[in-house]
Copies of this chain bind each other. A is one copy, B any other.
Amino acid sequence: MNFKSDNEAPAHPAVIKALVEANEGFATAYANDRYSKLLDERFSALFETECHVLPVATGTAANCVSLAEISPPWGAVICHRQAHIHNDEGGAPEFYTHGAKLVALDGDNARLNAAEVAAAVDSAGVHGVHNVKPAVVSITQATECGTIYRPEEIGALAEVAHDRGLFLHMDGARFANAVDWLGCRPAEVTWQAGVDVLSFGATKNGAITAEAIVVFGRPDWLEGMERRRKRGGHLLSKMRYVSAQLLAMLEDDLWLKLAGQANQRAAELARGIEQSPDTALEWPVEANEVFMRATPEKLAELKALGFEFHIWPGYTDLARLVCSWSTTKQAVTDLLQALNRT
């Protein structure tokens, strides 16, 4: 039973079906196909505002094309110490931005807070060209620790950023999980709260490989983004297959249903872990990731029983358990029973 990553789950049948359907006949190359051309309209409807969408195959590409457009090479990108862009992309942001500096801050539950960001920005850059220049605040929604920014928290960060001439980027690899948990409209946690550009993730949520850069109200960024996507090798010649996945995810709010399933499983898991005498939750479980404290021995026993999960880097007693749209209720029950049995 796999709790290692939502990246290890299969794609949802509706996504597969959409891809098969997209395979009919010829289609114009390089994102000029009819699927790709629908994206602006469909995402604009979803977000209740005009937005521009660039499909790409990976979250790293989505994040980095965006960051490179909104930070100069001498810029600083403020992010949380747990941020995926800081820890898990092998330096891709530095590569795409031509050397911007990621400035990692602390913050409870893997969330930046506005006051600390303000302080960091205000003290950075005072020496002009001798310093890098704060350019972007980047937040992850849901965070790498499975927690979620509230709209007002995002609003406060946006205000800090915008007041100081910075932009607000959201890494939404698990954006769907956040929106499901918050029960809000997508607009409320993005552009209405001040987000300038969003990496809308679909891969972890049941697609094969599909992410969307969603730009709110800045058409002047598009040329640079399209150039950077091309230079990164991310303008797929047969983009229809990526765009069709995105469209399938939006159809009938599939993206929200799948995230809801994953969140539901994670919540069940969390309740069981809290009730179990030997385990504890490291962070509040708000999305589809559950961080469980347990003795190394207990964790080893679970692994021996066939449960797959990651030990969090730097720890021996902290397991990350991720639920996906395909995680079954039975798998959760089995894990919880095993917890209480071992």
Contact = CB atoms under 8 A, between A and B. Distances in A.
Contacts of A24: 10
B233 A92 contact: yes
Interface residues on A, range: 35 or more
Number of identical protomers: 4
Contacts of A7: 29-30, 237-238
A209 interface: yes
Binding site secondary structure of chain A = loop
Given A57-B209, A58-B236, A101-B102, A127 B231 contact: no
Given A61-B233, A236-B57, A227 B131 contact: no
Contacts of A132: 90-91
Contact of A19 (B19, B25, B89, B131): B19
B238 A208 contact: yes
A265 interface: no
A99 B89 CA distance: 13
Interface of A: 2, 4-5, 7-11, 16, 19-20, 23-30, 56-61, 64, 72-74, 87-92, 94-102, 123, 126-127, 129-133, 203-204, 208-209, 224, 226-238, 241-242, 308, 313-314, 326
